[in-house]
Structure 1
Amino acid sequence: MSRSLPQSGSALLRAWPASALAVWAAAWRAGAVAPDDVVHTLHDYAQTHEIDAAADTGVAGGGGALDLLQAVGGAAASAVALPAAGDPQGLPPGALTGDVLAAGEVLLLAVPAGPTLAVTARGAVERCRWTFRALASPFDVDTIGGDQSPGELEYELREAVDEAAAVIAGLAGPRSAGPVDLRDALAARTHAVSLDLPPHDRPRVDRMLATAAQIDAIVSLAGGGPGASAGQLDTADTALRRLSSLTRRARATAINTLLRDYRS
């Protein structure tokens, strides 16, 4: 799942800012939304947006939300990946920097007559800094997330909901929260990792993202508690890592499906 570093005294950035920027910028370029719609979405993530770009990217540093939209919307193609340690999701080795792994998501841009760019977002609700880096060698962004079809991943997600619930049920020990508290906590965490999308015609994408958010919320709630045994925790940890990897792959596939649709 995505992680954002909080600034002192600041609230965390919402989950999946780079994925949101990617899909809303693609919708704008396709004429499905207005620039104000994209800016409004970005303001849901942070009050201020800043661009930090190296000289070899061809992107001007500074600027705000509209400059960010222009920089991303001008790409010939785009894709997102949600990498984690041991799960690079098809990224070339040069892109797996500490910042990319810490952010938990990266937006890849194919720039006409330029290098492939990797874009990450870091910050808090007061200010989000978008870092643009050029990959060391050319990279086909359409190769990202192509290992499994959306249909296959949707089936795996449906199966994984029951598995995630079983992991929590299998962790014995007293719990301080009752059923109502757990339901409220699950609903809140599901909302926190959900992604708002522009208009589109892919109901499967909506289902995949909704199920991925539900599983992510369950994974984040699956603490062992003081009564769980070491063996239970070890088994749960293995299962939760597998579930987290599945939701990353499914979420990236869903977003990249929309990105290709808007580009076609």
Structure 2
Amino acid sequence: MSNASATLTVWASAWLAGAAAPDDALDALTAWAPVQRVHAADPETAAQTGLPGPGAGTVGAAALFTTLRRSTAGGRAGSGAEVRLVLPVAGDVRGLPAGTSFARAALAAGEGVLVPDAGLGLVPAAEGEEALRWVVHSLPVDVPPAEHVGLAEAEHALRSAVRDSARALDELQVAREDATVRQRIAAALRATPQPEWPRGVPPRALRVLDQAQHVGAILEAAAQDTPGGAWSAAAADAREQLLRPLWTDVRTAQLAAVAESVRVLAAHPSQR
């Protein structure tokens, strides 16, 4: 359940608040791909940001950070700006500015970064294993306020999800019928990039992010059509009904952990 948008949200927030060095922020993104490519989604956004438009080439992540600084704070270090993670899926599009190209792209990707002060939204797309493309969208409408979920509340829900996801494996007979499921969960966790985080990120937030990643790996195993998976339409529907609320808990926990990290870093910019 870890993703590049969470990494960018935390590091961009820290950098805009003066709590992180730019080189450290750029290095953190390379955990997802060694090459970062950035361009605007359309000519209007290109004119607004100075980024290349579609078909006009790309620039590196340094230009993205510069664009955010210029768009939010006029280049003043330490001023900070709101940067927000979104993790939309069908049926759960909280936080998305409706009817925008960003909303459509973020829903398709399952992730994105909102910068309301700049009127911008960013969506990543992997290009093989070597490159990650960030497409920058302008937001012509007001961004709805963030839905606040406390970290303690999210952590409690996630602990329940840990227990429920273990039961889900048993009820779906995944663990019993597929002897490799535990190995697949461990392999998925090992394969997930582990970016560095800025100094000052609350340990509790990091713990919740780790728990969310682990539960997400369990749920992905439970969702696969293994020998213990769904054999019929009715079984597939039962599986979906069982796993959907657990996925919601995982996304909520990650959103809460990232939001708390952003809040703390913005409040204590001298930690760099």
Note closer, same or farther for the CA distance 1:209–1:215 as it changes in structure 2 (3 Å cut): same
Q: Which residue of 1 aligns with 2:126?
A: 123
Note closer, same or farther for the CA distance 1:225–1:72 as it changes in structure 2 (3 Å cut): same
Which of 224, 245, 250 lines up with 1:247 in the alignment? 250
Q: Is the 8 A contact 1:150 1:253 kept in 2?
A: yes
Alignment of 1:101 with 2:107, yes or no, is yes
Note closer, same or farther for the CA distance 1:137–1:201 as it changes in structure 2 (3 Å cut): closer
Q: How far 1:17 moved relative to its partner?
A: 1.1
Alignment of 1:40 with 2:36, yes or no, is no
**Equivalent-residue separation in structure 2 for 1:195 and 1:149 (angstroms):** 24
Mean Cα deviation higher: 152-161 or 38-47 = 38-47
Q: Which residue of 2 aligns with 1:4?
A: none
**Equivalent-residue separation in structure 2 for 1:71 and 1:134 (angstroms):** 12
Which of 54, 61, 67 lines up with 1:65 in the alignment? 61
Give the AA of the match of 1:26: S
> Secondary structure of 2:83's match?
strand
Alignment of 1:137 with 2:138, yes or no, is no
Q: Is the 8 A contact 1:16 1:195 kept in 2?
A: no
Mean Cα deviation higher: 52-61 or 118-127 = 52-61
Give the AA of the match of 1:103: A
Deviations along 1:72-116, one digit per CA (max 9) or x if unpaired, are 3453321111001110023221246432112111101133xx5x2
Deviations along 1:1-31, one digit per CA (max 9) or x if unpaired, are 6xxxxxxxxxxxxx51122112112222334
Gaps of 5+ in 1: 2-14
Q: How far 1:158 moved relative to its partner?
A: 0.2
Q: Which residue of 1 aligns with 2:168?
A: 167
Q: How far 1:194 moved relative to its partner?
A: 6.3
**Equivalent-residue separation in structure 2 for 1:186 and 1:67 (angstroms):** 37
**Equivalent-residue separation in structure 2 for 1:204 and 1:166 (angstroms):** 25
**Equivalent-residue separation in structure 2 for 1:253 and 1:237 (angstroms):** 24
> Secondary structure of 1:94's match?
coil
> Secondary structure of 2:141's match?
coil
Q: Which residue of 1 aligns with 2:76?
A: none
Q: How far 1:68 moved relative to its partner?
A: 1.8
Scaled by the length of structure 1, the TM-score of the pair is 0.81
Note closer, same or farther for the CA distance 1:173–1:88 as it changes in structure 2 (3 Å cut): closer
Deviations along 1:223-261, one digit per CA (max 9) or x if unpaired, are 353455545443221121111122112211211221122
Q: How far 1:219 moved relative to its partner?
A: 0.7
Mean Cα deviation higher: 55-64 or 187-196 = 187-196
Scaled by the length of structure 2, the TM-score of the pair is 0.79
**Equivalent-residue separation in structure 1 for 2:37 and 2:190 (angstroms):** 26
**Equivalent-residue separation in structure 1 for 2:220 and 2:20 (angstroms):** 33
Q: Is the 8 A contact 1:79 1:107 kept in 2?
A: yes
**Equivalent-residue separation in structure 1 for 2:147 and 2:203 (angstroms):** 19
Q: CA RMSD in A?
A: 2.5
Q: How far 1:195 moved relative to its partner?
A: 5.2
Q: Which residue of 1 aligns with 2:77?
A: none
Q: Which residue of 2 aligns with 1:90?
A: 95
Q: How many residue pairs end up in the alignment?
A: 243
Q: Is the 8 A contact 1:190 1:216 kept in 2?
A: no
**Equivalent-residue separation in structure 1 for 2:166 and 2:249 (angstroms):** 15
**Equivalent-residue separation in structure 1 for 2:243 and 2:174 (angstroms):** 18
> Secondary structure of 2:99's match?
helix
Q: Is the 8 A contact 1:81 1:107 kept in 2?
A: yes
Q: Which residue of 2 aligns with 1:238?
A: 241
Q: How far 1:263 moved relative to its partner?
A: 2.1
Sequence identity, in percent? Answer: 31
